[in-house]
């Protein structure tokens, strides 16, 4: 197996490269410095030269609020760029794993979304990630599409680090309490995704750590875990205006993942505890 990982300088791509390295699997992690995925010729050339047997496609335009102001730039990366990667995979008969998002769903109800539930993106980022999914389905047979949510990890901006930073200077903080989903540790996702690409169990999946919470509950758990004395005030989405609308129901059903035999991911509280433990070890090492 030879794996090409796009978005390797990002939060998830970094941990996937680390996991592949730990397993002794041959891989190459790429970013826009290696090739810009919106450049079709460069993308086809790079991939057909490296000749991977698997492409794990993590590169994306991920700034959801900014995307509302530059939808065509976002679409070019998330939809067109993804279609070029899919085309390259077809050319060389490689498997492709495309990372998608809970933002393909809208606000419907409070039940976990199944993989084949109707989509209803509320923002440009979610819409273009869905267009990326459709591009993959249109071109390939050997694909995995994996929707993930609320990712935290050591190689990128994330909610856990933001809360810890804010908690150092504040004793009270207001956090949205009517959006529900599951946090996901990039390290746990990386293990699952590396397992997945070694199978032929193609299809669409949801993957996040087990359990469910609101952003406010997530924040409270972070402060408890860090032993920081910060009071979290629960506020509705409307009190925290953002350019891009967010779904209130980001719960993702893991049924298809479990049915395929991939097993449950660890509880999000357990994942958070491990992440914070690593962070504290790192802080102590550097002081
Ligand atoms: N983070 C989350 O909470 C979350 C939630 C749901 C789904 N996802 C999905 O998970 C995947 C990984 O997200 P992430 O948070 O790890 O992303 P990230 O940290 O924002 O990193 C994005 C990566 O994409 C690369 N990239 C962007 N535009 C590119 C282009 N035109 N050509 C080549 N590379 C380009 C960047 O490379 P440079 O460094 O060169 O710019 C970077 O490596 C994405 O598909 C995202 O949609 C993330």
What pLDDT, on the 0 to 100 scale, is given for residue 263?
86
Let me know if residue 58 belongs to a domain. yes
Assess whether 125 carries a catalytic annotation.
yes
Measured in Å, residue 58 CA sits from the centre of ligand 1 at 6
12 in ligand 1 pocket by Cβ < 6 Å?
yes
Let me know if residue 75 belongs to a domain. yes
148 in ligand 1 pocket by Cβ < 6 Å?
yes
Instruction: Using alpha carbons, select from 247, 209, 273, 277 the residue that is nearest to residue 117.
Output: 247
What pLDDT, on the 0 to 100 scale, is given for residue 279?
81
Let me know if residue 169 belongs to a domain. no
13 in ligand 1 pocket by Cβ < 6 Å?
yes
Counting ligand 1 atoms within 8 A of each CB, the residue from 18, 39, 59, 80 with the most, and so the one to mutate, is: 59
Range of the structural domain that residue 62 is part of:
2-158+183-210+250-266
Measured in Å, residue 229 CA sits from the centre of ligand 1 at 33
Let me know if residue 170 belongs to a domain. no
Nearest Cα residue to atom 40 of ligand 1: 32
Let me know if residue 216 belongs to a domain. no
9 in ligand 1 pocket by Cβ < 6 Å?
yes
Let me know if residue 110 belongs to a domain. yes
Phi, psi angle pair for 81, to nearest 5°: -55, -45
Q: Which of 125, 143, 185, 275 is catalytic?
A: 125
Let me know if residue 42 belongs to a domain. yes
Let me know if residue 23 belongs to a domain. yes
Nearest Cα residue to atom 23 of ligand 1: 7
CATH of the domain at 40: 3.40.50.720
What pLDDT, on the 0 to 100 scale, is given for residue 282?
76
Sort strands 180-181 and 143-148 into parallel, antiparallel or unpaired: unpaired
Nearest Cα residue to atom 34 of ligand 1: 32
151 in ligand 1 pocket by Cβ < 6 Å?
yes
Tell me the pLDDT of the chain (287 aa) as tens digits.
999 999 999 999 999 999 999 999 999 999 999 999 999 999 999 999 999 999 999 999 999 999 999 999 999 999 999 999 999 999 999 999 999 999 999 977 899 999 999 999 999 999 999 999 999 999 999 999 999 999 999 999 999 999 999 999 999 999 999 999 999 999 999 999 999 999 999 999 999 999 999 999 999 999 999 999 999 999 999 998 899 999 999 999 999 999 999 988 999 999 999 999 988 877 777 76
Sort strands 172-176 and 95-101 into parallel, antiparallel or unpaired: unpaired
Domain count, the chain: 1
């Amino acid at each position: 197996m030879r794996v090409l990982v796009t978005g390797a300088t990002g939060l998830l791509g970094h941990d996937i490269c680390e996991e592949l390295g730990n397993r002794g699997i041959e891989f190459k992690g790429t970013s826009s410095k290696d090739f810009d995925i919106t450049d079709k010729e460069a993308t086809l050339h790079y991939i057909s030269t490296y000749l991977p047997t698997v492409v794990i496609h993590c590169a994306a335009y991920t700034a959801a609020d900014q995307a509302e102001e530059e939808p065509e730039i976002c679409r070019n990366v998330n939809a067109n760029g993804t279609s070029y990667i899919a085309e390259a995979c077809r050319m060389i008969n490689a498997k492709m794993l495309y990372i998608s998002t809970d933002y393909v769903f809208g606000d419907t109800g409070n039940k976990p979304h199944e993989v084949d539930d109707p989509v209803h993106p509320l923002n440009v980022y979610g819409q273009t990630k869905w267009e990326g999914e459709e591009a993959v389905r249109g071109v390939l047979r050997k694909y995995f599409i994996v929707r993930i949510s609320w990712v935290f990890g050591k190689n990128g901006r994330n909610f856990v680090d933001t809360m810890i930073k804010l908690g150092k200077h504040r004793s009270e903080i207001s956090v949205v309490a009517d959006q529900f989903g599951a946090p996901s540790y990039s390290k746990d996702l990386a293990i699952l995704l590396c397992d997945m690409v070694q199978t032929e169990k193609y299809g669409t999946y949801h993957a996040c750590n087990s359990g469910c919470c609101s952003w406010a509950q997530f924040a409270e758990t972070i402060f408890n875990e860090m032993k920081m004395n910060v009071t979290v005030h629960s506020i509705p989405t409307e009190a925290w205006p953002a350019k891009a609308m967010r779904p209130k129901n980001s719960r993702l059903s893991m049924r298809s993942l479990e049915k395929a035999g991939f097993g449950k991911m660890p509880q999000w509280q357990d994942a958070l505890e491990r992440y914070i433990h690593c962070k504290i070890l790192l802080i102590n090492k550097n002081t």
